[in-house]
Structures are given as structure tokens and as C-alpha cells.
Amino acid sequence: MKVLVTGGCGYIGSHTCVMLLEAGYDVIIVDNLCNSKRDVVDKIKEITGKDVIFYKGDVCDYALINKIFSHHDIVAVLHFAGLKAVGESVLKPLLYYRNNIDSTLNLLEVMTKYNCKNIVFSSSATVYGAPKTLPIKESAPLSTTNPYGSTKLYIEGILRDVYEADKNWNIAILRYFNPIGAHKSGLIGENPNGIPNNLMPYIIKVATKELEVLNIFGDDYDTPDGTGVRDYIHIIDLAKGHIKALDKVLSGSGIVCYNLGTGHGYSVLELVKTFEKVNNVKVNYRIAPRREGDIAACYADPTYAFQELGWKAELGIEDMCRDAYNYVMKCKRNTSD
Ligand SMILES: NC(=O)c1ccc[n+]([C@@H]2O[C@H](COP(=O)([O-])OP(=O)(O)OC[C@H]3O[C@@H](n4cnc5c(N)ncnc54)[C@H](O)[C@@H]3O)[C@@H](O)[C@H]2O)c1
């Protein structure tokens, strides 16, 4: 069974491709490599011993997506492709709306044309805005505070409209919490260039002395140690959630929406301390003022995904810290060879 994975060279997409191949799916990737590298395809093949079809190109390119569907009998799409940097989205909202929404519209149009009406979409916990109650259930009120989040919320709305108009669609909206970690092999993972937007890559760059110090924004939140609390989830658990969601979609789900998180919040300081302990390294940090727009705590209620999909996160914070560091250190060794 062939599935199309948009953004399959990216962080979450690449790990999900490994799981898809291991589950017996044939994988076609389309990625414009705007935030990833071509060699990820080889790494996916190396891990799984299986072949992958790769198209370098943009999901906003209708002719390309049409060509892919005309060449392959695709049963479902896992749609990861998108820009994801919150700060950049504030500076360049049109880029985000154009890229994330156009790509989705194109994809849905071509899927309709080829009667492929099964899709798993990468949404985000950012659609919960500043949550009023914790843990967050799927039924919580939705709002966003930046253009990136708005693209996710709009796309969720587009998917609901598409489903309302044609009940033959099967759509899984997955709201991710904070994926970190890497594949055990150390062959794929997250290692952004420059100044990272997310905490774990930042911690690693400080641990490896690429960056001098980690700023922890605020230590006076209403949390156990005063620093912000988030629901970190191992990328492998997250990837496994996609296989379960895909199975659900292919069994005729209609439109469904699941939180993919652990249900457990860890503070920034807990993450830093655990990272130091399991990797036996020092992370130089200092407390900085709160950042505007940051919330004290955010973690999922993942009960619904467990009830409906039989999925729950299994790996812990120590695995996340160890595997994330292992990947980056392996990248470093390979580039210095
Ligand atoms: N990583 C997170 O913390 C997180 C949290 C919530 C939601 N998400 C969402 O999950 C998805 C995957 O995230 P990720 O962390 O793997 O990001 P990523 O940047 O590592 O991967 C996205 C991939 O999509 C590709 N891409 C972007 N726009 C494209 C386009 N128009 N055409 C073709 N390829 C395109 C990029 O080159 C990249 O390989 C994104 O939609 C993101 O918004 C991520």
C-alpha cells in the first residue's frame, strides 16, 4: 500500500517514514528540502533496509503533486510539509499562509481528483492558545497567538469543511505537543542550523559549546520550580502515533482529532538537569525575564488517543535526552571524519 508523505525529510516526517516502512507501507516522499537535507532519504533506507521513492519539490506545485498521483496508486497522505517557526511567522505571515495553506489546498484538490480521501494532518497544541484548564482535552477552546498557529487552525477548519461536503473523506488531525529525541540509530534526528527555535536543540548547542548560554525565560511561574512546564514526547512515540492514526483513517474514521502527548509536564529546569545527568555534560544556563506570550504550563490529556487508537507514549524523559544528544554527537563525529 503506497502512502505519500509530504515533508518526509523533516524531523517528524523522517521518523514516521521509518515506522511506515517497518509497518509494511510503501513510502513516497515529497519535500522541497527548505528545512531538511536529501541524505535523510538514504538514512531512512539504511535504518529500514527498504526503498523509498523521493520527489524533490514543493507541495504548492500543483503540477508536481498531480504528476505524483498520476504515477502512483496512493491510498493515503501524511501531510507534514509546512513551515513551523513561530517567531519567523510573526515577521513573515504571508510566507506562512502561502506555504502552509496553499500546499494543503493543492494537496486536497489533487487528492479529490484522484479519489484518494484519506489524510493524516500535522496540527499542533499551539491551537489551544493559552489553555484555561490542564490537562488539555481535544474539546478545549481553540485560539492562536501567532500566524503559524493560525495556519494550523485554519487548515483544521478547511479539513472539517471538506469532510462536511463529502463524508467519504477520512481525516485524522493530530495535535502534537513537544517532540524531542531521535531514532536510536543516531542516523536521523533534529539538528537545526543557526540559533534553534526550540529548547532541546538549544540545550544541545550549549552543551556542545556552539552557544554560550541557555536563557531560561522566567522562574516565577506558578509551577513546581517556577520555570515553564511542557509536555515533551519522544519522537519515536509520536511517529508510532501516526501509524495508529493511519490505520484508523484507513478503517474509515470520518474526521477525528487526537492529542499526541504524554500527559506529563516537565519543567525547563527538569529537562536541563535530566539532560546533564544522562549525558554527563554541563549546560550553562541563566534565568532571564519571562518572554511575552509564553504560558506557564501546557500538557495533554492523551486519554482519547489511548481509547480510540490504543496508543500511548512509552518512552521517558531520560530516553528523550539521551537519544537527542546521541544523534547530534554522531552528526558531529561524521562531519569531522
Ligand atoms: N516539531 C514540532 O515541535 C512540531 C509541533 C507541532 C506541529 N508540528 C508540525 O509538524 C510538521 C512537521 O514538523 P517538523 O518538526 O518535522 O518540521 P521540519 O521542518 O523538520 O519538517 C517539515 C518538512 O517539510 C518540508 N517543507 C516545508 N514546506 C514545504 C513545501 N511547501 N513543500 C514541500 N516540502 C515542504 C521541509 O523541507 C521539511 O523537510 C509541520 O507541519 C509542523 O508545523 C511540529
pLDDT in tens, the chain (337 residues): 999 999 999 999 999 999 999 999 999 999 999 999 999 999 999 999 999 999 999 999 999 999 999 999 999 999 999 999 999 999 999 999 999 999 999 999 999 999 999 999 999 999 999 999 999 999 999 999 999 999 999 999 999 999 999 999 999 999 999 999 999 999 999 987 788 989 999 999 999 999 999 999 999 999 999 999 999 999 999 999 999 999 999 999 999 999 999 999 999 999 999 999 999 999 999 999 999 888 999 999 999 999 999 999 999 999 999 999 999 999 988 887 6
Please report, as a single letter, which amino acid is at residue 169: W
187 lies in a domain? no
110 lies in a domain? yes
303 lies in a domain? no
332 lies in a domain? yes
Q: Mark whether 87 and 143 lie in a shared domain.
A: yes
Q: Mark whether 218 and 275 lie in a shared domain.
A: yes
Q: Grid coordinates in use for 274? A: 535530566
Q: Mark whether 245 and 321 lie in a shared domain.
A: no
* Residue 148 alpha carbon, nearest atom of ligand 1: 43
Q: Which of 245, 263, 281 is the last residue of a domain?
A: 263
Ligand 1 pocket test, pick from 12, 43, 148, 257 with the greatest ligand atom count within 8 Å of Cβ, gives 12
Which one of 25, 55, 96, 148 is the catalytic residue?
Answer: 148
- Alpha-carbon separation of residue 233 from 42, 119, 321 (angstroms): 25, 22, 11
> Taking a C-beta distance cutoff of 8 angstroms, is the pair 233, 177 a contact?
yes
Q: Report phi then psi at 41, rounded to 5.
A: -60, -45
53 lies in a domain? yes
Give residue 55 CA to ligand 1 midpoint distance, Å: 16
250 lies in a domain? yes
126 lies in a domain? yes
Residue 148 a catalytic site member: yes
Give residue 263 CA to ligand 1 midpoint distance, Å: 23
Supply the range of the domain harboring residue 294.
199-230+264-298+316-336
d(CA 169, CA 253): 8
Q: Mark whether 243 and 139 lie in a shared domain.
A: yes
Which residues have CB under 8 Å from 67's CB, separation 6+? none
Nearest to 129 by CA among 138, 141, 113, 112: 141
132 lies in a domain? yes
Please report, as a single letter, which amino acid is at residue 286: R
Task: Using a cut of 0.85, tell me whether the model's pTM lies above it.
Answer: yes
- CATH number, domain at 92? 3.40.50.720
Q: Mark whether 168 and 34 lie in a shared domain.
A: yes
Q: Mark whether 6 and 144 lie in a shared domain.
A: yes
Nearest to 331 by CA among 40, 14, 48: 40
Total Cβ atoms within 10 A of residue 105: 15
Please report, as a single letter, which amino acid is at residue 281: V
Nearest to 13 by CA among 138, 190, 165: 190
Q: Mark whether 78 and 206 lie in a shared domain.
A: no
Q: Mark whether 207 and 329 lie in a shared domain.
A: yes
Give residue 35 CA to ligand 1 midpoint distance, Å: 8
Q: Mark whether 59 and 170 lie in a shared domain.
A: yes
Q: Mark whether 88 and 10 lie in a shared domain.
A: yes
d(CA 321, CA 316): 9
- Overall domain count for the chain: 2
* Residue 123 alpha carbon, nearest atom of ligand 1: 7
Residue 262 has what DSSP assignment?
A: -
- CATH number, domain at 291? 3.90.25.10
Q: Mark whether 177 and 215 lie in a shared domain.
A: no
Q: Mark whether 268 and 124 lie in a shared domain.
A: no
